[in-house]
C-alpha cells in the first residue's frame, strides 16, 4: 500500500550516533534497563512486543529509533490528550512530530498532512479509530513508513484490563503495511494477554522484551476501610503540597468524595465519564498543568496523563483487577522518585463490582470475576505486596523483604492462635447448617440477640458469643480471609457460607492457616507484650517500651499519621528487649528497614541510650564500623559518585575512604548501594573469598537473612559490616 524503508541493520542502540541522539534530544547519557534491547529490535526491523512498567521509558523505545531511521514512524495512541502531550514534548526536544486526529481544525490537518507528505515528520501519532478512515488510508498511501508502534497494546486483547474494540481491528495494519515492522508497547500484560496481542496484531517472529514489573520506588499499603475521609486525611497530611489521585468505584462516590475533600479545605476536582467532555478536559488539564494537585476519579481518568510527579495514588475501593491496579497505582512515581500507593477496601467492594459486572454468562465474564477475586486476595494477603504483584505477572521476586510495603514494615501483625480462631468460625458456619451469610455468622459469634438470631435459635448455639470480645468488623474480616484462602466459599445470591474440604480439614486440625491480628481488641485485662522469642518484658523493659510508645505518639501527632505507621508495637517490644546501640544493630530489628532507619534512626538511638542508662539496662554492643543509611545512588552526592567510580576500578574500602575523605562507615554504605545498583556478584576486592564463603555457609546453616543470628553463630569473628556486604552480594547471585 505504501512506500517503505528498509531498517538500518548495522545501527544498534549502543552506537555512538544513537547515544549522541539520546543525549542531544532527551539529555540522557545512557538507557534505562531493557530500553537498549527494545530499541535494537526496532532498528533491526524485527517485530516486537515490549512490556515495561510505567516509568520504565517505553516511549523512548520507539521515539529514538524513529529519529534515527529514514522515513516516518506511525504511532497508534488511544487518547487525544496523550497524543498532544507526546507531540508537544517531542517538539520541545527538537524532534519533528505531529498528530492527525479529530481534535484538529481543517487548517491544522492540512499543515500536518503537508509536512508528512514532504517527509518532514519523524513520528506521526494517530488514533485507532482514525487509522481505518478513508482519509487516513489515502494520506498514508505514498508515505515512507519506517515502522508502526502500537502504544497501550494491552487494549488489543479482550483479556486485558482496558480492552477496546477499535484496537481489536488493528490487525488490518499487517495487510495494509505487509513489509513494515510492527511493535506493541504496554506496561502490564499477563502471558495470556501477550499471546493475544501478538496474534491480534499479526506480529511475526516476535521478539518479546519484558522488563521487571516491580516498582521499587513505590510503597504499597492495603488496609481495611473504616472511616474513608479520616483515612484520606492522613494520606493527604503525609503528602501536603504534593500531587495525588484518589480512585473510586462509582461516579456517585467520586462526587461525594470530591465534595467532602473540598469542604475540608482541599482543592480537589472530580473526573468521571458522566461529566461533560469540556469539564473533563478542563479538569484533566488543570491537573496536568499543576494548577490543581488532587483529582478524585473513576478509572476513566489516567491513561492520558503524562504528569510524572504524582506522589500518591489512593484507591477508595478495590480496583477491577490486578492489571488495573498495576496501571492505576503505577501512575504514582513515574519520575522514579518515591511515591505511595494506598488501597482502602471493604467486603462490600466485591458486591459493588459484581453488581456492575452482572451475572457471569461467558468465559470472559468468569475470567473478570476471578480477576476481581484476585485483587481481594492481594488486599487481604499477608504476602509482601511487591512479591504478590510481580508473581502475578509470572516474575520471580528475589528479596525476602521489599522494605517498601505495609507487610514488610510489620504493620499487619499476625494472629498468634489463627488455627483456633479459624476453628471457632468454621464451627459456627457448620452449626448454622451452612445456610447463612458472613454477616449473620459474625453476629452469632459476637453474641448478638436480634430477632433473626432469636428466630432461628442461634442464641442457643455453643458458638454464640464465642468471640464477644472482638469487634464485629474483625470477625467479618477473618471470615473474608478464610474465604480468600479457600477454607470457606460463598454461594448463591445471598452469598451463603459453605465449608470446603480444606475447611473441614482445618476444623479437624489437619491444616494450617494465617490470619491478621485484629485492628482493635476489647479485652478486659491488659495483654502481655512479648518479643520475638516469646519472652515477657521485664519491669524496666516495660518502662522503656512505654517511653518508646510516648515518643511514637508524639511523632505520629507531628506527622498526622497513626502511630503504627511509624513503628508497630511488635517492633517497639523488640527495641525494648534488644536495645540496639548502632545503625547496623537497629537494622536487625524486625519492622525497621533502611527507610525507617534513615527517618527515625538517630532519634531512636538517642532515646534508647538515654532511657537505658536511666533504667540501668545494658545495650547491645555498638559496631564501630556500622554504616549509616545513605541515599540512593540515583540521588548521589559528588563523593558517592566518586566512590562508585573507584569501586568500578576495583579499589578497596580503605583506598576509597582516603580518596573521598569520608569515614569508613560512610564508604561501607556507599559500597552496599553500589553492590545493589550494579548487581555485583563477586566479593573481591572488598571481601576475602573465605570470609564470604563462611558467611554464606553460616546463613544457610541458621536459615537466617538477618545480621544478628549470623553474627552470633559466627561467634563474633566476622563483623556486621562484612556480613552486610556478603549478604548483599549473595542476594544478587540468587536473583540471576
pLDDT, tens digit, for every residue of 236-274?
A: 999 987 889 999 988 999 999 999 999 999 999 999 888
The domain over range 218-369+390-395 is classified in CATH as 3.40.50.300: yes
> Given a cut of 50, is residue 402 above it in pLDDT?
yes
The 10s digit of each residue's pLDDT in 608-637 is: 888 888 877 877 654 333 333 333 333 334
CATH for the 633-734 domain, from 2.40.30, 1.10.10, 3.40.91, 1.20.120: 1.10.10
- The reply to whether omega before 507 is within 30° of 0 (cis) is no
The 10s digit of each residue's pLDDT in 523-539 is: 322 333 333 333 356 67
CATH for the 539-615 domain, from 3.90.25.10, 1.10.150.80, 2.30.30.100, 2.60.40.10: 1.10.150.80
Q: What pLDDT is recorded for position 532?
A: 33
Q: Which fold has domain 16-210?
A: Rossmann fold (3.40.50)
Q: How far is CA 5 from CA 143, 184, 432, in A?
A: 10, 19, 73
The pLDDT mean for the chain works out to 81
Mean pLDDT of 344-349: 82
Q: What pLDDT is recorded for position 23?
A: 66
Query: Among candidates 194, 216, 224, which has minimal Cα distance to 207?
Result: 194
Between 655 and 704, the more confident residue is 655
- Dihedral angle, C-alpha 167, 366, 213, 327, nearest 10 °: 60
* Joined grid coordinates for residue 641: 559518585
Q: What pLDDT is recorded for position 462?
A: 95
Q: Which fold has domain 418-507?
A: Arc Repressor Mutant, subunit A (1.10.10)
- Find all residues with CB under 8 Å of 569, minimum gap 6, and list them: 413, 529, 549
Distinct helix (H) and strand (E) counts, the chain? 34, 15
Within the chain, all domains assigned CATH 1.10.10.10 are found at 418-507
* Joined grid coordinates for residue 236: 493527604
CB-CB contact of 519 with 224 (8 Å) = yes
User: Which region among 60-69, 552-561, 645-654 has the lowest average model confidence (pLDDT)?
Assistant: 552-561
pLDDT range class, residue 521, cuts 50, 70, 90: very low
* Joined grid coordinates for residue 514: 494465617
Q: What pLDDT is recorded for position 225?
A: 87
Percent residues over pLDDT 90 in the chain: 28
Which residue in this structure is represented by grid cell 472482638?
470
Amino acid at each position: 500500500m505504501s512506500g517503505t524503508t528498509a531498517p538500518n541493520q548495522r545501527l544498534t542502540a549502543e552506537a555512538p550516533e544513537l547515544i549522541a541522539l539520546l543525549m542531544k534530544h532527551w539529555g540522557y547519557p545512557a538507557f534505562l534497563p531493557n530500553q537498549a534491547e527494545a530499541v535494537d529490535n526496532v532498528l533491526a526491523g524485527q517485530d516486537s512486543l515490549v512490556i515495561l512498567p510505567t516509568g520504565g521509558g517505553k516511549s523512548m523505545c520507539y521515539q529514538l529509533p524513529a529519529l534515527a531511521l529514514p522515513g516516518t514512524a506511525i504511532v497508534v495512541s488511544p487518547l487525544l490528550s496523550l497524543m498532544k502531550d507526546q507531540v508537544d514534548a517531542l517538539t520541545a526536544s527538537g524532534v519533528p512530530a505531529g498528530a492527525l486526529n479529530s481534535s484538529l481544525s481543517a487548517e491544522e490537518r492540512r499543515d500536518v498532512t503537508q509536512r508528512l507528505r514532504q517527509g518532514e515528520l519523524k513520528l506521526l501519532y494517530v488514533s485507532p479509530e482514525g487509522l481505518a478512515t478513508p482519509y487516513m488510508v489515502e494520506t498514508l498511501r505514498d508515505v515512507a513508513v519506517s515502522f508502526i508502534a502500537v502504544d497501550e497494546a494491552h487494549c488489543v486483547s479482550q483479556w486485558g484490563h482496558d480492552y477496546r474494540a477499535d484496537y481489536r481491528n488493528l490487525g488490518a495494519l499487517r495487510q495494509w503495511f505487509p513489509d513494515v515492522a510492527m511493535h506493541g508497547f504496554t506496561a502490564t500484560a499477563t502471558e495470556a494477554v501477550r499471546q493475544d496481542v501478538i496474534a491480534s496484531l499479526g506480529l511475526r517472529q516476535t521478539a518479546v522484551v519484558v522488563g521487571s514489573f516491580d516498582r521499587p520506588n513505590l510503597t504499597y499499603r492495603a488496609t481495611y476501610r473504616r472511616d474513608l475521609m479520616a483515612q484520606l486525611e492522613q494520606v493527604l497530611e503525609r503528602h501536603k503540597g504534593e500531587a495525588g489521585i484518589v480512585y473510586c468505584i462509582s461516579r456517585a462516590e467520586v462526587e461525594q468524595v470530591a465534595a467532602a475533600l473540598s469542604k475540608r479545605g482541599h482543592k480537589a476536582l472530580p473526573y468521571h465519564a458522566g461529566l461533560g467532555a469540556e469539564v473533563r478536559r478542563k479538569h484533566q488539564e488543570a491537573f496536568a498543568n499543576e494548577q490543581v494537585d488532587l483529582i478524585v476519579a473513576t478509572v476513566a481518568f489516567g491513561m492520558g496523563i503524562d504528569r510524572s510527579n504524582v506522589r500518591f495514588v489512593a484507591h477508595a475501593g478495590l480496583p477491577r483487577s490486578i492489571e488495573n491496579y498495576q496501571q492505576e497505582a503505577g501512575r504514582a512515581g513515574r519520575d522514579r522518585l518515591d511515591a505511595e500507593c494506598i488501597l482502602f477496601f471493604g467486603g462490600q467492594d466485591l458486591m459493588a463490582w459484581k453488581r456492575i459486572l452482572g451475572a457471569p454468562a461467558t468465559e470472559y465474564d468468569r475470567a473478570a470475576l476471578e480477576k476481581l477475586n484476585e485483587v481481594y486476595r492481594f488486599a487481604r494477603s499477608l504476602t509482601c505486596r511487591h512479591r504478590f504483584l510481580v508473581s502475578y505477572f509470572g516474575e520471580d521476586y528475589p528479596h525476602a523483604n521489599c522494605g517498601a510495603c505495609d507487610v514488610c514494615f510489620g504493620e499487619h501483625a499476625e494472629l498468634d492462635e489463627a488455627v483456633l480462631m479459624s476453628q471457632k468460625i468454621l464451627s459456627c458456619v457448620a452449626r448454622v447448617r451452612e445456610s447463612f451469610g458472613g454477616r449473620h455468622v459474625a453476629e452469632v459469634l459476637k453474641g448478638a440477640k436480634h430477632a433473626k438470631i432469636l428466630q432461628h435459635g442461634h442464641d442457643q448455639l455453643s458458638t454464640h458469643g464465642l468471640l464477644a470480645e472482638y469487634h464485629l468488623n474483625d470477625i467479618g474480616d477473618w471470615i473474608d480471609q478464610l474465604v480468600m484462602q479457600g477454607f470457606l466459599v460463598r454461594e448463591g445470591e445471598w452469598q451463603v457460607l459453605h465449608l470446603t474440604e480444606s475447611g473441614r480439614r482445618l476444623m479437624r486440625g489437619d491444616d494450617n492457616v494465617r490470619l491478621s491480628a485484629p485492628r482493635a481488641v476489647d479485652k478486659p485485662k491488659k495483654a502481655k507484650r512479648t518479643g520475638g522469642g516469646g519472652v515477657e518484658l521485664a519491669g524496666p523493659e516495660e518502662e522503656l517500651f512505654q517511653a518508646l510508645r510516648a515518643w511514637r505518639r508524639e511523632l505520629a501527632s507531628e506527622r498526622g499519621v497513626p502511630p503504627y505507621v511509624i513503628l508497630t508495637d511488635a517492633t517497639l517490644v523488640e527495641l525494648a528487649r534488644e536495645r540496639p546501640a548502632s545503625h547496623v544493630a537497629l537494622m536487625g530489628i524486625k519492622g525497621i528497614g533502611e527507610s525507617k532507619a534513615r527517618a527515625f534512626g538517630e532519634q531512636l538511638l538517642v532515646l534508647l541510650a538515654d532511657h537505658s542508662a536511666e533504667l540501668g539496662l545494658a545495650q547491645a554492643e555498638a559496631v564501630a564500623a556500622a554504616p549509616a543509611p545513605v541515599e540512593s545512588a540515583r540521588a548521589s552526592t559528588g563523593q558517592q559518585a566518586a566512590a562508585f567510580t573507584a569501586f568500578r576500578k576495583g579499589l578497596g574500602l580503605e583506598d576509597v575512604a582516603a580518596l573521598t575523605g569520608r569515614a569508613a562507615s560512610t564508604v561501607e554504605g556507599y559500597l552496599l548501594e553500589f553492590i545493589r545498583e550494579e548487581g555485583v556478584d563477586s566479593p573481591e576486592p572488598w571481601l576475602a573469598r573465605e570470609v564470604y564463603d563462611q558467611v554464606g555457609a553460616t546463613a544457610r546453616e541458621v536459615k537466617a537473612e538477618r545480621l544478628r543470628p549470623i553474627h552470633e553463630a559466627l561467634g563474633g569473628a566476622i563483623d556486621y559490616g562484612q556480613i552486610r556486604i556478603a549478604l548483599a552480594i549473595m542476594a544478587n547471585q540468587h536473583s540471576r
